Amino acid sequence: MNEENETKVTEFLFSDFPQIENGGLLFFIPLLFIYTFIVFGNSMIFFAVQLDARLHNPMYSFISIFSFLEIWYTTVTIPKMLSNLVSKEKTISLVGCLLQMYFFHSLGVTEGLVLTVMAIDRYVAICNPLRYAVIMTLQLCIRLSTGSFTVGFLMLLPEIVWISTLPFCGPNQIHQLFCDFEPVPRLACTDTSMILVEDVIHAISILTCVSVITLSYLRIITVIVRIPSGESRQKAFSTCAAHITIFLLFSGSVSLMYLRFSVTFQPLLEKAIALTFAVLVPFFNPIIYSLRNKDMKDAIKKNFCSQKRVSDPGSYYDFFQACLQRHFILCIGFKS
């Protein structure tokens, strides 16, 4: 009977999604738009860097890698969220839940490491400009990128293996928008005190990345304020502003979620924090990197909108709309 109970739960239920009659479609439509924008916007950044020879340097290579990761990072969770919003059965299998946790967090850790590498790259470029080409070689960039992926996808593997061995015999309701390391193990009918050890590991990894990035940008800002030329100072600040913005959004929400240990938040606040790092940060990534970067805007316009001029390229939304009309609306026979 005990063995029967331990193998009883084979799927989990997401219990906090609104029903259709209570406004599920009101959430579905904007979330679908956001997901489409994330995939389209980050794809444009990724391919613009690959196609434009002027962007073949370490900074833009790391930006393209980050955009590539954002596409898959959101694909792990948002399609399932969309499905849950319009279906009566808001369930996920045990295996599906484990895979969602593994890929979501592995991609998230990899993103954090890439952001750290980007901060180091900017540190070398601004603080040691004469040695930048010697230090940030192609071989080093490949090693840093490969190392980020390797560490990101291996670091969470032991935790996923441990969770997969836990017995789940009910209840099976997950009070979160996706499978996560905090709510899922607590559903196991056994001692889960190991969660505290995992929290410490998460804290160390997050704080290490945050510390490296913070120290890098503090040093960068110190150097920038000493630049005598106002134009050069403004250009240096502009280059780093996008990276700092993404870092603050990403690390801030992740820290609130995974550096609180036993502290609990209201369910609505839990969802808001989860949506911030799972949906909103990837949504702002193409906006920030395109709106604030002239080279990126020019590369996207050249490669995707070369036959249709944008009247006001200073606005990313006008720019995005023009590209969207060019590649989608005209394809289905409408005239802009």
Pairwise pLDDT comparison (18 vs 229), residue with the higher score: 229
State yes or no: pLDDT of 35 exceeds 60: yes
Q: How far apart are CA 286 and CA 323, in angstroms?
A: 14
Place of tokens 């391919």: 47
Place of tokens 């109970």: 5
Label residue 313 by pLDDT band (50, 70, 90): very low
pLDDT of residue 323: 47
State yes or no: pLDDT of 309 exceeds 70: no
Secondary structure of residue 130 in the 3-state scheme: helix
Q: Which of 105-114, 161-170, 256-265 has the lowest mean pLDDT?
A: 256-265
Average pLDDT over residues 155-173: 87
Residues in the chain: 336
Specify the amino acid at residue 86: V
Q: Which residues contact 194 (CB under 8 A, 6 or more apart)?
A: 162, 185
pLDDT of residue 21: 52
Question: Which contiguous run of DSSP H or E holds residue 135?
Answer: helix 132-135
Strands 91-93 and 11-14: antiparallel
Cis peptide before 171 (omega within 30 of 0): yes
How far, in Å, are 60, 271, 277, 290, 315 from residue 287 at the CA level?
15, 23, 16, 5, 10
pLDDT of residue 140: 93
Average pLDDT over residues 299-323: 57
pLDDT of residue 330: 34
According to the CATH classification, is domain 2-304 in 1.20.1070.10?
Answer: yes
Q: Which two tokens stand for residue 130?
A: 């004469």
State yes or no: pLDDT of 331 exceeds 50: no
**What is the pTM (predicted TM-score) of this model?**
0.83
Three-state helix/strand/coil letters over the chain: CHHHHHCCCCEEEECCCCCHHHCHHHHHHHHHHHHHHHHHHHHHHHHHHHHCHHHCCHHHHHHHHHHHHHHHHHHCCHHHHHHHHHCCCCEEEHHHHHHHHHHHHHHHHHHHHHHHHHHHHHHHHHHCHHHHHHHCCHHHHHHHHHHHHHHHHHHCHHHHHHHHCCCCCCCCEECCCCCCCCCCHHHCCCCCCHHHHHHHHHHHHHHHHHHHHHHHHHHHHHHHCCCCCHHHHHHHHHHHHHHHHHHHHHHHHHHHHHCCCCCCCCHHHHHHHHHHHHHHHHHHHHHHHHHCCHHHHHHHHHHHCCCCCCCCCCCHHHHHHHHHHHHHHHHHCCCC
State yes or no: pLDDT of 267 exceeds 80: no
pLDDT of residue 31: 92
Mean pLDDT of the chain: 81
CA quadruple 63, 69, 74, 79: dihedral positive or negative?
A: positive
State yes or no: pLDDT of 18 exceeds 90: no
* Each residue's pLDDT tens digit, 38-92: 999 999 999 999 988 888 999 899 999 999 999 999 999 999 999 988 888 889 9
**φ, ψ for residue 77, nearest 5 deg:** -115, -45
Label residue 306 by pLDDT band (50, 70, 90): low
How far, in Å, are 78, 169, 176, 261, 289 from residue 66 at the CA level?
18, 39, 26, 28, 11
Question: Which contiguous run of DSSP H or E holds residue 162?
Answer: helix 157-164
Label residue 251 by pLDDT band (50, 70, 90): confident
Label residue 332 by pLDDT band (50, 70, 90): very low
* Each residue's pLDDT tens digit, 134-155: 999 989 999 999 999 999 999 8
Pairwise pLDDT comparison (127 vs 25), residue with the higher score: 127
Q: How far apart are CA 108 and CA 121, in angstroms?
A: 20
* Each residue's pLDDT tens digit, 219-237: 988 888 887 776 667 777 7
- The segment with the largest mean pLDDT, out of 129-133, 262-266, 300-304, is 129-133
Q: How buried is 60 (Cβ within 10 angstroms: 0-12 exposed, 13-18 middle, 19+ buried)?
A: buried
